[in-house]
Every structure is written in C-alpha cells, then in structure tokens.
C-alpha cells in the first residue's frame, strides 16, 4: 500500500520518538498519528510527548519533544507542522542540549561597581526581591524624572504573549515608545517594504510555493546555511524536474550557490541597478502584464539622494526627515526613470554580465513560468534595504506574478518569531499590535478599546520613540539612563561595538546607564549588566512563535527552568507592579487595569496556571484581529461613526482561539472559521480557489472585491492598489580605498545561531565550528603573506579585531571580498562593523564595511 | 507518492577507497538501538552524527550527496556499500526502503551532518 510522504515522515518521527523513549506505548503518540497535531500525553514509563517549535531561525520548524524525569530526551521533526513537514536541520535535532549547558544562570545577579562592566567579574548573587526592588527603583525614578531616558530592547526570539505583555507594560503602563527590538536589525527593511507597498505587513505567499515554482531566485540569501530546511525543500523540488531553475544573486559565493544553475556575483549595493535593469528590460520589450498594472497598481516616486545615516543627527536632516515621502507618478514618468538602466549600465555597475541579467529578466517575464524570489539579510541589512525590497516587488508587479501558488516575492525571516512577536505584536517604537501605528488616531482609539483604556489615553504616545540604533547611540553618549534587554545579546549583535561597549574615550555611556539583562547563560551583554535576571528558555515555559509564512505555532512546557530562573512574564510583571504602585489609569489601579486579569499583585503570583495565563493573554491579543470580540473595537474598525478615513479591515490578520493551535499545526493566518473548523489561508488576497484549499476566499469576499483580474484583490491596501515605487541606484555609503581595500560582510553559519550564546554550549555544534573565522580569497591572502589558519588583524575605521583567516571554500570570495560570521564573542567581529542604517527602516547595514587585513 | 525522476541522485556506483577508520554502525531508527558513535562523541537517539573530519574534508563540496551515498548508501554490495561506513537509516529513504531513493528533502546531507573538526573551515 502506498503511503504518502507526510505519513511516512510522520511514522519516522514516531518511531524515533518511541525508540528514544525506550519503547513507549503507542498510546503516548496517539496524537501524532491522527490528522490533527499532538499535544502533551504521558506514557506508561513516564515519558511525555510535547508539541514544540525550534527556537532558532525564522523557518519555524515544528518539533516533537519527549521528556522524561524532567529532562528532554529526544527531539524529532513534527510532520503535522506545515512549515517543515517533519524535517529539521542539525540545530533542531540538538535542541535538547541547549537547556543543559553547565553555566546556566540560576540566580539573580547584581553588579555593585559599574567600573567592573566589561569584565568577567563584578556580579554577585542576589535574591529575587533585592534584584526586583533595585530594578524597579531605578526604572521608577528615571521614569518619573525623565522618561525619554528609559529604553527596552526586545526580540524576534520572544514568544508572542511575552512580547504582547512587555509592549503593553511599556506603551500603556509607562506611556513610553522607547521600546524596539532586534528585529529592527533583521526585518525592518522588509517591514517598511510591506507597509509602504501593501499597507500590511508579511507576505502574500507561503512555503508551499517552494514546492510549486518553476524558477527560484535567491537574492542576498544564503538559504543553505540560514534557512536549511527551506533550502532542502526547494532543492528537493528542483531535483524532481529538469525544468526547475535556480538563480543565485550574491556578493560572495556560498553553499546556496553550489547547486544553482546560474550564480550572479554582484558588487555590493549594485543589486538595485540589476533589479531596475530587469524592470527596464521588461518594459522596453513590452513583456509586462498591462492589465495587472491597470487593475491593481498605483505608481509613485520617492525622495532620492538620501545620503547616509552615519551621523547621530541624520534623522532630522532634510533628507533623513523626508526619506520615506512619496508622490504619485504616471506610467510615463516611471518608464522614463527606468530608461537609463540598460543591461549594459547594470552590468558595468554590478560586474554581472549583461547576458545574465537579460536571461533573468526573461525568466521573470516568461508567462509560462512561476517564479519565486527569496531574500533575507543581503537585502534587508542594506543602506538602501527598503528600496531594494521595493525593487523586488516592482519586478513581480510588472509581470503580475504575486500572491499566486508558486509565484511570488517571499521575504525570508531571520528569527523564530520576528513575524509573530516583533511584527505582529508590534515591538517597535512606532507600532501598536497588529500593524497599528502609534501616530494614527484611529489605531490608538482601537487599541484603547481593546486595552480598556480611557479614550485619548494613548495620545501621550502618538510620537514614535527611539529606534534601535538611536537608542544605543544615545546610550553611548550618556543620554539613556535605563536600558533593559531580553531575549537578545546586544553586546555581540549590534554594529560598531567599539562605540557601544565604551571602548572609545568619548563614548562611555554604558558605564553610567543602568542596564538590565534577562538571560539564560552568561554573555557579553551580562558582562555589561547592572542586574541579570535568570529566566526560563525554550520549552521550560509555554509560548508561541510566528514564522515567515504567517504560521503561528505553540510550544508546550516540557520541563522546569533550572534553579531560581523565572518565566520572563513573571519578571516583567513583578517589576511592573512595583513601578506602577499607586499609579492610576482613570479611576482604576494602573497595574490591575492592565494586568489584573492574569496577575494577583498582592499574592505576587499568576491567578491561573501557565497555560490559562497564556490563553487569557492570547485571547486579549487576538481581539486585535477579531474585532467582533469587542463592541467598541468593532465600531472603530468599521469606522461606524465616519470619523476616520475608512474601515480598518482588522480581520485581514485574523487569528484563531488559543487552544485551536494545540490541535492544528497548519494555521497560517488569516485563519477563518468554517462550520466550526479553523482553516488557514495560504495565498492572501487570492480568491481563485476555495478557502479550504488555502485561498483567501473569505477575506476577499468580506473586505475586498471578488472577480478582479488574476483573482486578486489587495483589500488591505489603501485604494486596494499596492504601490509600485521607482527607487534609483545610489552607490554604497563607503567603497574600498587604499587604506581599507577589502569589502567585509557578516552573516550566519548553519551550525551557530546568531551570537552563539546557545549553540556554542551544544558540544556537537561547537565541535563542528569552534571558532569564528574570516574567509578570504586565496590570492589576496597570499599577497599579504597570510596562510590558511593564520591569525590576522582586521581593521575598519570603527575598530579592529584579531581573528583566524581561512581560504577554504565554504565561502568562495572573489578577490577583494571577505566574510565572517558573528557568533564568536571572543572575536567580537562587530567591533569593526560600520555604523549606518537604512534611512527609511533604520536597520543597520552589516554587509558593506571596508577593512584592511594584516598578519597578526 | 511522487518520486524523483532524475537518476543523478541515485547511488550511482561511486566507488571510493575503503576507509581505514571504523566506527560503530548506526542501526536504522525503526529499531531501538544503542547509541551511535563517531570519533569520541556519543549521540543520543535522533541526533545526527557529525562527519569525521580526518577523511571527509572537502568531500561534500566536491561530491555532494553522491559522495555520501557512495559509501553510506545501499547498493548490491551491501548496506552500507562501504562496510566501514555509518549506514544511512532507512527512514532517510522514500517509503523507508533502502533499495529505493533517498527522500529528496534529505539530499542536503551537510545540513544535519556537519564536519566534526576543530579546524573546520
């Protein structure tokens, strides 16, 4: 009898899990073998199976975890999870070990002498009460004195209900927008692209497109290392047919280039010239989809000659202040602006042969080929990152290939919940939950309705706060007196660490800024902390992630956190109740008004167990995308009194009731209830098929216009017309010189996650790649007298580091190009990374530093 | 069940010299087994073993999945082909059948089996 691949992989996961459990009874795994996903169930020998999600990259692989005697004993892929269908990469299979590193933080720590910051010493153990009282006192004092000098830095690795709670505390409790997150440094350019173009964040397509496309274009994305399971998925599809093609556009050849049909190595920053040349070719040769443009698109021009955001005052310069301004344009104007972008011009700027660009343009234009463009940090961490996002959509718009099965631009996500928490929850200095903006009055009224705040209460936060780079720049100058970070390791991941770690005389702010870090292991960031809170990680508590395809997944609590480590939510609530002590919102006690439904401040404990607490938080959060749950919100959403510009269409991001996610592992939002069953949407804005088949039938019927060209209706976009914005090529902020002759790019490797604080504690992953290395071209190394394995000094205008050089071909660098991953905090490569950001998204450019290299 | 139609990914008689280094053979995961080891690492169930570095350096880059299957996969000479190599578990094959093809999603071997080498480049 034939079995489907899904059933097969499922059987594999079950057999693995059973073997690990020592022949666990089949009953334990009953959930796995039903059509629905599994949730916790105990077996006879004390082994329990839990639903989980990998806590590393943005792919969001579902995992099945078995725990016994309080310890995780096996991790297998979850075949019911639509994102990975049972597969993991090496990091996923070793997830269990990340909890048990020898140096887990188990006690609160306090630093009494700030001059010991940056050293291994200076922290002493403290009680929770002492640490909480100290942090609350510092925060409350600074908040009362000058709340512009407090900051909170969150993460795309924070579970959804935790991000929701901390944002509510900061924005509604402290009325401060100085909250931003590390997704700013990861996805912000993609976010600004989505918002500018569609008026709604996150992609129209889904991972299933990887099984359906005829042509794949990876552009600034090393998927083989950074999204391994998705790479395997499209490679599997590619190998299944001789007609599937892959084009890889990159500045350094990577493992992703290895199996590509064509690799196009371009000069840093010239990607926009290539994209515009593709558009121009399609226009000049009349290969565009006229009706798609007529029926769906509006054209715009934007501010140009933006300069670069090197200086702290950039945002207030004329170019900085107007960076995201646009004006309507005609088709003729657009055509005229593209005209200079000939194949020859793009070739000259980029170094890519004109014939290759032409071939790719034809590939995009071929009406018989479905095409998927995939990109990540090469596009986002870019001094013109938002522009480059626009450019990719421009190409897809011209040929009408978007939001259709197998067809679409697809922004890959960096972190496990960059979408779910950072973006959907709104952990940004300008956002409220569910895409809402602090600056928009209707959005504030809507949020007040759901948070049960007096009308106008949030007008106090209508001005955005400090974005990430501004927060750290101000901190380094002594203008931030309280900084709290959680679920991240800023002291390794930020650029220009030479400045932010106080290694330069004029920037000593880190020593005077009271710094709080929630952490699981000692890191560079805890070396700079005044207080360290030890917290639960991964499946030591229950949580939720939202991945790059709008898929929401839950992970169950499978074991206890070690020692005195707490759930982050308890830490934040205990500080909140102290800081808000005696404060009022209207006539109500402020803490109780915000968190009384889940937390008893007198008992210093949650009112319910962790699952119910999460459920209550989720149901409140879910109201943002289910306005029918709140009458006041419903009226504002519908613009019932005509006070605002129009309806908000909040159901466009509809989420399901919390418990549904434990039974179903295939819920990509918007989810729709049909006859009591919750059904995902795979292709947003497309009503070319039934809701049950993954099309956005209900969304288009309720909020859009059925029957439009291509079965598409962009109902969340103003005028239902996404924006095609011409963006010109402007050269990189810096280019190699006699003094700094090499391009230097940072990024990730397969084996290590971000700053290595977790994966460097998994013995097998550390063995696989124990040291951060700088990859060089062999001829370049030879000219400098550098042999493979030599120590070198790498310097930029920002600082210098010592690191081991290699000429091995994991990264095949052309002459003049170098690459290093940033996981090794002994190297601390980001000390040399340039400090400038995209003027629109405020995301740092980590990819184009100019450096010199000498033998150490 | 969709199957691949490209013979290029089959075990295609890639003959390599018998390796001098023996290590315990991991059984297929459908049967509970003792823990596999390579070099001096002990692996728990479900943890993919690393590739020993001393004789695998550069193999993935030059040969890809064919190189892996040449020793670790099945052919008429045995399973694995090279008796000293770690056997690819049956769950890596389509329908769990090592006479057939590797599941196409599992062809990027390096994604779960990185090189174990302190000097990995």
> Is pLDDT at B33 greater than 50 in this prediction?
no
CB of A410 closer than 8 Å to CB of A419: no
Cβ–Cβ of B111/A5 closer than 8 Å? no
Q: Is A791 on the interface with B (CB under 8 A)?
A: no
Q: Which residues of B touch A236 (CB under 8 A)?
A: 103-105, 107
B13 vs A697, B59, B98, B113, CA distance in Å?
Answer: 51, 16, 15, 22
Asked if A377 is an active-site residue, the reply is yes
Q: Which residues of B touch A240 (CB under 8 A)?
A: 2, 4-6, 104
Nearest residue of B to residue A810 by CA position? Answer: B121
- The whole-angstrom distance between B77's CA and the closest CA on chain A is 26
Distance CA B96, CA A13 (A): 12
- The whole-angstrom distance between A766's CA and the closest CA on chain B is 9
Task: Give the max Cα distance, chain B.
Answer: 42
User: Helices (H) and strands (E) in chain A — how many of each?
Assistant: 31, 33
Asked if A284 is an active-site residue, the reply is no
Q: Are strands A599-600 and A588-589 parallel, antiparallel or unpaired?
A: unpaired
By residue count, chain A amounts to 856
Which pLDDT belongs to residue A29?
Answer: 25
CB of A221 closer than 8 Å to CB of B24: no
CB of A276 closer than 8 Å to CB of A346: yes
Nearest residue of A to residue B96 by CA position? Answer: A8
CB of A550 closer than 8 Å to CB of A567: no
Q: What is the pTM of this model?
A: 0.92
Catalytic residue among A414, A420, A543, A756: A414
- Chain B contacts in chain A segment 692-751 (CB below 8 A): 750-751
Distance CA A671, CA A200 (A): 16
Q: Which residues of B touch A255 (CB under 8 A)?
A: 110
Phi, psi of A559 (to 5 degrees): -160, 170
Q: Is A243 on the interface with B (CB under 8 A)?
A: no
Q: Is B118 on the interface with A (CB under 8 A)?
A: yes
Q: Residue B108 is nearest to which of A12, A224, A764, comparing CB atoms? A: A224
Cβ–Cβ of B105/A233 closer than 8 Å? yes
Distance CA A755, CA A738 (A): 31
A15 vs A96, B29, B53, B80, CA distance in Å?
Answer: 18, 7, 30, 21
Helix (H) or strand (E) holding A18: helix A5-20
Asked if A414 is an active-site residue, the reply is yes
Cβ–Cβ of B2/A767 closer than 8 Å? no
Closest to A360 measured CA to CA, from A248, A224, A198: A248
Nearest residue of B to residue A24 by CA position? Answer: B32
Catalytic residue among A195, A226, A377, A813: A377
- The whole-angstrom distance between A212's CA and the closest CA on chain B is 13
Q: Which residues of B touch A769 (CB under 8 A)?
A: 114, 120
Query: Assign residue A580 a region: left if phi > 0, alpha if psi is -120 to 50, beta otherwise?
Result: alpha
- Chain B contacts in chain A segment 446-485 (CB below 8 A): none
Q: Is A3 on the interface with B (CB under 8 A)?
A: yes
CB of A442 closer than 8 Å to CB of A636: yes
Count of CB pairs separated by less than 8 Å, A with B: 134
Asked if A238 is an active-site residue, the reply is no
- CB proximity list for B75: less than 8 A, separation 6 or greater: B11, B13, B81
Q: Residue B95 is nearest to which of A8, A767, A770, comparing CB atoms? A: A8
Distance CA A555, CA A549 (A): 17
Q: Is A73 on the interface with B (CB under 8 A)?
A: yes
Q: Using CB atoms within 10 A of its CB, is residue A719 exposed (0-12), middle (13-18) or buried (19+)? A: exposed
Nearest residue of A to residue B3 by CA position? Answer: A240
Q: Are strands A742-747 and A817-821 parallel, antiparallel or unpaired?
A: parallel
Which pLDDT belongs to residue A828?
Answer: 98
Distance CA A191, CA A206 (A): 17
Give the other-Cβ count within 10 Å of A738's Cβ: 6
Q: Which residues of B touch A765 (CB under 8 A)?
A: 114
Cβ–Cβ of A2/B116 closer than 8 Å? no
Q: Residue A90 is nearest to which of B48, B105, B117, comparing CB atoms? A: B48
Cβ–Cβ of B45/A231 closer than 8 Å? no
- Chain A contacts in chain B segment 68-87 (CB below 8 A): none
Asked if A226 is an active-site residue, the reply is no
Cβ–Cβ of A76/B46 closer than 8 Å? yes
Could you tell me the pLDDT band of residue B8, with boundaries at 50, 70 and 90? very low
Q: Is B45 on the interface with A (CB under 8 A)?
A: yes
Q: What is the pLDDT of residues A538-550, one digit of tens each?
A: 999 999 999 999 9
Could you tell me the pLDDT band of residue B43, with boundaries at 50, 70 and 90? confident
Residue B114 corresponds to which tokens in the numbers above?
Answer: 């990185």
Q: Using CB atoms within 10 A of its CB, is residue A116 exposed (0-12), middle (13-18) or buried (19+)? A: middle
Which pLDDT belongs to residue A39?
Answer: 57
Cβ–Cβ of A789/B119 closer than 8 Å? yes
Q: Are strands A482-486 and A408-411 parallel, antiparallel or unpaired?
A: unpaired
Question: Is the backbone peptide bond immediately before B42 cis, with ω within 30 degrees of 0?
Answer: no
Q: Is B47 on the interface with A (CB under 8 A)?
A: yes
Cβ–Cβ of A16/B46 closer than 8 Å? yes
Distance CA A15, CA A62 (A): 17
Crossing angle for the helix pair A271-284 and A331-338, nearest 10 degrees? 120
- The whole-angstrom distance between B83's CA and the closest CA on chain A is 24
Three-state SS string over A156-213 comes to: CCCCHHHHHHHHHHHHHHCCCCCEEEHHHHCCHHHHHHHHHHHCCCCCCCCHHHHHCC
Task: Give the max Cα distance, chain A.
Answer: 75
Which pLDDT belongs to residue A575?
Answer: 98
Closest to A648 measured CA to CA, from A454, A460, A465, A449: A449
Q: Residue B114 is nearest to which of A15, A90, A788, comparing CB atoms? A: A90
Q: Is B27 on the interface with A (CB under 8 A)?
A: no
Sheet containing strand A371-375, edge to edge, reads: A262-265, A245-250, A215-219, A371-375, A408-411
Which pLDDT belongs to residue A12?
Answer: 44
A170 vs A174, A291, A319, A819, CA distance in Å?
Answer: 5, 47, 31, 38
Distance CA A187, CA A385 (A): 10
Cβ–Cβ of A88/B115 closer than 8 Å? no
Distance CA A765, CA A759 (A): 6
Q: Which residues of A touch B110 (CB under 8 A)?
A: 255, 750
Helix (H, G, I), strand (E, B) or coil at A742: strand
Q: Is B37 on the interface with A (CB under 8 A)?
A: no
Phi, psi of B91 (to 5 degrees): -70, -5
Task: Count Cα atoms within 13 angstroms, Cβ side, for A567.
Answer: 24
> Is pLDDT at B21 greater than 50 in this prediction?
no
Crossing angle for the helix pair A610-622 and A160-168, nearest 10 degrees? 70
Q: Which residues of A touch B29 (CB under 8 A)?
A: 12, 15-16, 19
- The whole-angstrom distance between A777's CA and the closest CA on chain B is 13
Distance CA A15, CA A32 (A): 11
Cβ–Cβ of A20/B30 closer than 8 Å? no
Residue A18 corresponds to which tokens in the numbers above?
Answer: 């059973």
Could you tell me the pLDDT band of residue B119, with boundaries at 50, 70 and 90? low
Catalytic residue among A66, A142, A185, A415: A415
- The whole-angstrom distance between A236's CA and the closest CA on chain B is 5
Q: Which residues of B touch A9 (CB under 8 A)?
A: 103
Q: Which long-range contacts (CB under 8 A, 24 or more apart) does A791-794 make?
A: A791/A855, A791/A856, A792/A853, A792/A854, A792/A855, A792/A856, A793/A853, A793/A854, A793/A855, A793/A856, A794/A744, A794/A818, A794/A820, A794/A829, A794/A832, A794/A851, A794/A852, A794/A853
Instruction: Give me the residue label for tokens 């892996």.
Output: B68
Distance CA A595, CA A575 (A): 12
Asked if A187 is an active-site residue, the reply is yes
Q: Which residues of chain A have pLDDT under 70?
A: 1-42, 44
CB of A94 closer than 8 Å to CB of A63: no
User: Hey, which residues does A180 pair with through a beta bridge?
Assistant: A153
Residue A728 corresponds to which tokens in the numbers above?
Answer: 């010109």
Q: Residue A228 is nearest to which of B61, B95, B108, comparing CB atoms? A: B108
Task: Count Cα atoms within 13 angstroms, Cβ side, for A220.
Answer: 33
Distance CA A553, CA A544 (A): 6
- E runs forming strands in A420-541: 482-486, 514-519, 531-534
Which pLDDT belongs to residue B58?
Answer: 86
Q: Which residues of A touch B46 (CB under 8 A)?
A: 16-17, 20, 74-76, 93
Question: Is the backbone peptide bond immediately before A500 cis, with ω within 30 degrees of 0?
Answer: no
The radius of gyration of chain B's CA atoms, rounded to the nearest angstrom, is 14
Q: What is the pLDDT of residues A97-119, one digit of tens each?
A: 999 999 999 999 999 999 999 99
């Amino acid at each position: 009898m034939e079995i489907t691949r899904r059933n097969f992989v499922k059987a594999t996961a079950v057999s693995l899990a059973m073997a690990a459990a020592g022949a666990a009874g089949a009953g334990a795994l009953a959930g796995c073998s039903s059509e629905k996903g599994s949730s916790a169930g105990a077996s006879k020998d004390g082994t329990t199976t839990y639903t989980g999600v990998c806590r590393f990259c943005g792919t969001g692989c579902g995992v099945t975890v078995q725990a016994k005697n309080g310890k995780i004993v096996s991790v297998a892929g979850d075949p019911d999870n639509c994102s990975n269908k049972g597969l993991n990469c090496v990091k996923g299979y070793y997830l269990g070990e990340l909890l048990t590193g020898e140096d887990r933080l188990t006690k609160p720590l306090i630093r009494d002498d700030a001059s010991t910051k940056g050293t291994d010493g200076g922290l002493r153990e403290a009680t929770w009460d002492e640490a909480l009282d100290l942090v609350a006192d510092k925060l409350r004092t600074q908040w009362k004195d000058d709340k512009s000098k407090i900051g909170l830095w969150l993460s795309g690795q924070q579970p959804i209900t935790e991000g929701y709670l901390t944002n509510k505390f900061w924005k509604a409790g402290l009325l401060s927008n100085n909250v931003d997150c590390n997704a700013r440094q990861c996805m912000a350019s993609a976010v600004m692209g989505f918002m500018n173009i569609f008026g709604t964040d996150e992609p129209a397509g889904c991972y299933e497109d990887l099984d359906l496309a005829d042509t794949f274009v990876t552009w600034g994305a090393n998927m083989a290392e950074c999204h391994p399971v998705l790479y395997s998925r499209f490679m599997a599809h590619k190998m299944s047919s001789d007609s599937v093609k892959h084009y890889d556009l990159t500045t350094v050849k990577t493992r992703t280039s290895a199996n590509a049909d064509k690799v196009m190595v371009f000069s840093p920053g010239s990607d926009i010239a290539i994209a515009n040349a593709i558009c121009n070719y399609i226009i000049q040769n009349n290969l565009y989809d006229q009706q798609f443009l007529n029926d769906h698109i509006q054209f715009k021009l934007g501010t140009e000659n933006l300069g670069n955001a090197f200086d702290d005052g950039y945002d207030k310069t004329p170019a900085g202040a107007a960076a995201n301004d646009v004006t309507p344009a005609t088709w003729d104007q657009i055509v005229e602006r593209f005209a200079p972008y000939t194949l020859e011009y793009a070739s000259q700027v980029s170094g890519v042969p004109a014939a290759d660009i032409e071939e790719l343009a034809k590939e995009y234009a071929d009406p018989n080929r479905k095409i998927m463009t995939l990109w990540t940090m090469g596009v986002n961490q870019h001094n013109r990152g938002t522009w480059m996002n626009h450019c990719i959509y421009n190409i897809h718009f011209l040929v009408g290939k978007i939001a259709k099965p197998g067809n679409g631009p697809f922004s890959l996500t960096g972190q496990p919940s960059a979408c779910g928490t950072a973006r959907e929850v709104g952990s940004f200095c300008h956002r409220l939950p569910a895409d809402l903006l602090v600056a928009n009055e209707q959005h504030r009224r809507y949020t007040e309705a759901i948070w049960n705040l007096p009308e106008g209460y949030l007008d106090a936060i209508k001005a955005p706060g400090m974005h990430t780079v501004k927060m750290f720049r101000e901190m380094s100058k002594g203008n931030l007196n309280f900084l709290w970070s959680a679920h991240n390791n800023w002291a390794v991941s930020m650029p220009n660490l030479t400045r932010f770690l106080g290694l330069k005389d004029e920037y000593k702010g880190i020593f005077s800024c009271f710094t709080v870090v929630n952490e699981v292991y000692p890191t560079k960031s805890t070396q700079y902390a005044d207080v360290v809170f030890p917290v639960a990680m991964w499946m030591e508590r229950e949580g939720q992630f939202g991945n790059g395809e709008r898929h929401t997944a839950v992970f169950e609590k499978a074991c206890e956190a070690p020692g005195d480590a707490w759930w982050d939510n308890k830490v934040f609530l205990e500080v909140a109740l102290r800081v808000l002590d005696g404060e009022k919102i209207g006539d109500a006690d402020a803490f109780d008004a915000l968190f009384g439904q889940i937390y008893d401040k007198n008992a210093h404990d949650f009112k319910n167990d962790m699952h119910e607490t999460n459920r209550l938080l989720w149901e409140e959060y879910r109201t943002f995308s289910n306005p029918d749950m709140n009458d006041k919100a419903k009226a504002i959403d519908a613009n019932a009194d005509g006070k605002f510009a129009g309806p908000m269409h909040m159901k466009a991001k509809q989420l399901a009731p919390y418990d549904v996610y434990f039974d179903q592992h295939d819920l990509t939002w918007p989810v729709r209830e049909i006859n009591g069953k919750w059904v995902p949407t795979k292709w947003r804005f497309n009503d070319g098929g039934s809701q049950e088949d993954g099309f956005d039938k209900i969304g288009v019927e309720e909020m859009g216009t059925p029957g439009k060209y291509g079965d598409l209706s962009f109902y969340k976009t103003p005028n239902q017309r996404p924006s095609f914005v011409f963006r010109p090529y402007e050269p990189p902020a810096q280019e190699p010189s006699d003094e700094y002759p090499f391009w230097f790019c940072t990024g990730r490797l397969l084996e290590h996650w971000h700053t290595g604080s977790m994966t460097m504690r998994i013995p097998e992953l550390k063995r696989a790649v124990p040291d951060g290395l700088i990859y060089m071209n062999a001829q370049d190394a030879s000219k400098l007298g550098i042999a493979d394995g030599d120590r070198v000094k790498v310097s930029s205008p920002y600082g210098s580091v010592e690191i081991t050089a290699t000429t091995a071909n994991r990264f095949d660098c052309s002459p003049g190009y170098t690459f290093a991953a940033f996981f090794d905090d002994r190297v601390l490569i980001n000390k040399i990374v340039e400090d400038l950001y995209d003027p629109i998204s405020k995301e740092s450019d980590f990819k184009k530093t100019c450096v010199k290299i000498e033998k150490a | 069940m969709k199957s691949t139609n490209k013979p290029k990914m089959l075990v295609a008689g890639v003959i390599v010299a018998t390796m001098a280094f023996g290590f315990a053979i991991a059984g297929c995961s459908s049967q509970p087994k003792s823990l596999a080891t390579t070099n001096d690492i002990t692996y728990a169930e479900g943890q993919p073993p690393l590739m020993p570095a001393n004789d695998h350096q550069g193999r993935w880059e030059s040969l890809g999945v064919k190189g892996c299957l040449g020793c670790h996969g099945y052919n008429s000479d045995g399973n694995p082909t090279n008796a000293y190599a770690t056997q690819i578990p049956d769950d890596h094959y389509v329908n769990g059948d090592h006479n057939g093809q590797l599941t196409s999603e599992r062809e990027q071997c390096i994604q779960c089996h990185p090189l174990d080498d302190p000097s990995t480049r």
